[in-house]
Chain A
């Protein structure tokens, strides 16, 4: 009991204890805020990538694509674990507005919007046809002509707050999409002066996926039109990728393994068919694997920030260690007194370890409360700073970030608090053990006072 009482008194009646409390609180505050924002950004970025391609991707990086995909789609759709499949053509081309002499290099993405909406989060990225992807290509001004969906950053500019100024309805703009069609062997499909295919589309909507590269370069057009433009149409149609969505209870790796096995069997069955060589370039990947080149740098950054703030934590542990060393040194007389009334070395260590426990718990509690309060208001604070001082954490005209992520993770908070408490207790262990080993006569003799 005296250990609890004494440790409490040391905590609240010694000014130096407030220094330790402050160091722990500040460190926890910084770690909670930075890790929440970073984890939020990484999680948000991953979710957007997941939304972009579905759960699993069967496809090739080749601009030629691969053939016989339709039969494989039917096989997949016959499987219980597959909820939906979307066929995608991806290639590169030029887009120009009618009447404009300017062309922009874009990524052409050919999709069946209804299927694509079932597999990916495409519907949610649209502005005029939000959550109704099936009508994405319905051009309001000319229903007879196919529409196209343009990556938001190709069409509109973000203002400084990160918002786009949409028109009330799609403008009557006709876009010409031009592409070099390729044969199955990768050669140019046309010769002479008519090397390219060009088709015109009415602008029907914009897509805001939140992925900077996609939003600044993608033009979605109907699948058949994309196949025609890219030379993937004809009797044996080709596609670049199949995006697959699994059932809710299907584990990602298990689903991808099943798809890979099915693909292997299918490719083997098709081995003798014309153009089957293209099937060898096809790989089966989870969405994480497929978007690895985009996700990995973000994850690495997250890890680096984690390590950096881990070092901040180590520095704090050292500060707390020094503070405890000073506190224990100042309390050597108390240690002598306690030993003279029969307190054991272990219990003397216990007094200071419990003191460190309270310091860690209270300090990290303060840090967490301040951190969570700050996070809840981080966007308001940033808006205020921007309005009055012109300061923004991320320039919204450059970065595809909306609000700063501020969803606190209880697990993260628990780990941070636990680490702080354990670090404090470990920091107190060494000085208190050293102090407890002192002989009481050495401490209490007149010359030492």
Chain B
């Protein structure tokens, strides 16, 4: 595998947290490489550090030690503005608990990343195009009729699909999904996995964290995290 094919790479990543007087070492030198277009599942027991490595890959958290590279560029060298742009344009997050904004309707939640990256004038110029894209995404995700609904009016599966739509709004290079089916029943969860598979089929790079081996099998590659290291 050549370096050019690598979109995300973690080298010797360490992370520890302080819990009261004790220091919990979560990651103990994690090495990980994700190729463009791959669907990688990171599996591990609860507390194994799966979400932590996902957050570090998406620049939501910083490693204590080690390097994370995105398309060859070291994320630790990014300034605050660059990191915000990275989170906005390069990666899209899907969380276990959907994390939609209750005050916004479905369409507004999906379109939000495009709004964030635009100035007021820029937004006024591009809003039609952005809303069209958000509408198309929602149609594709089976939520075409639910655009004006509020998150509390949706089921868990529908909310997660809205979250996927939001994550894809800015056409990120990597989709990072943290237990995307963890809060859903198996039928609904399978629906979400179908969506992820379909996206990956179209070339979307996906890194998914799950504790469920059966769900991980839907990915093209599975990495196991145990005792703070990749196995």
Inter-subunit contact B104/A341 (CB<8 Å): no
Inter-subunit contact A440/B84 (CB<8 Å): no
- Measured CA separation A445–B17 after assembly (Å): 13
Chain A residues whose C-beta falls within 8 Å of the C-beta of B60 in the assembled complex: 339-340, 439-441, 444
Q: Count A interface residues, CB 8 Å.
A: 28
Chain A residues whose C-beta falls within 8 Å of the C-beta of B99 in the assembled complex: 333, 336-337, 340, 444
Chain B residues whose C-beta falls within 8 Å of the C-beta of A333 in the assembled complex: 99
Nearest Cβ on chain B to A426's Cβ, whole angstroms: 24
Inter-subunit contact A2/B61 (CB<8 Å): no
Inter-subunit contact B103/A342 (CB<8 Å): no
Q: Interface code B6-24, partner A: CB below 8 Å = 1, 0 otherwise?
A: 0000000000000000000
- Measured CA separation A131–B81 after assembly (Å): 75
Chain B residues whose C-beta falls within 8 Å of the C-beta of A2 in the assembled complex: 112, 115-116
Is the C-beta of A1 less than 8 angstroms from some C-beta in chain B? yes
Chain B residues whose C-beta falls within 8 Å of the C-beta of A340 in the assembled complex: 58, 60, 87, 93, 95, 99
Chain B residues whose C-beta falls within 8 Å of the C-beta of A169 in the assembled complex: none
Residue of A nearest to B62 (CB): A439
Given the contacts A9-B104, A441-B55, A441-B60, A338 and B116 also touching, CB distance less than 8 Å: yes
Inter-subunit contact B51/A445 (CB<8 Å): yes
Inter-subunit contact B103/A6 (CB<8 Å): yes
- Interchain CB contact (< 8 A) of B84 among A4, A6, A336, A343: A343
In the complex, chain A residues 1-23 whose Cβ is within 8 Å of any chain B Cβ: 1-2, 4-6, 9-10, 13
Given the contacts A5-B108, A339-B87, A13 and B103 also touching, CB distance less than 8 Å: yes
Interface SS of A by simple majority = helix
Chain B residues whose C-beta falls within 8 Å of the C-beta of A6 in the assembled complex: 101, 103-104
- Measured CA separation A339–B99 after assembly (Å): 12
Given the contacts A6-B101, A336-B99, A441-B60, A1 and B81 also touching, CB distance less than 8 Å: no
Is the C-beta of A334 less than 8 angstroms from some C-beta in chain B? yes
- Looking at the complex, which of B117-125, B133-141, B187-195, B218-226 is the stretch in contact with chain A? B117-125
Residue of B nearest to A12 (CB): B103
In the complex, chain A residues 309-358 whose Cβ is within 8 Å of any chain B Cβ: 333-334, 336-345, 347
Nearest Cβ on chain A to B72's Cβ, whole angstroms: 21
Residue of B nearest to A8 (CB): B103
- Interchain CB contact (< 8 A) of A449 among B61, B97, B101: B97
A-B contacts besides A2-B112, A5-B115, A342-B89, 5 pairs, CB < 8 Å: A1-B115, A2-B115, A9-B103, A441-B52, A446-B96
Q: Sample 12 A-B pairs with CB under 8 A, ordered by A number.
A: A1-B127, A6-B103, A9-B104, A13-B103, A336-B99, A339-B60, A341-B112, A342-B84, A342-B85, A342-B87, A343-B88, A345-B80
Binding site for A on B (CB under 8 A): 51-52, 55, 58, 60-61, 80-81, 84-89, 93, 95-97, 99-101, 103-104, 108, 112-113, 115-118, 120, 123-124, 127, 166
Closest 9 CB pairs of A and B: A342-B88, A9-B103, A342-B87, A2-B115, A1-B123, A342-B84, A441-B61, A341-B113, A337-B99
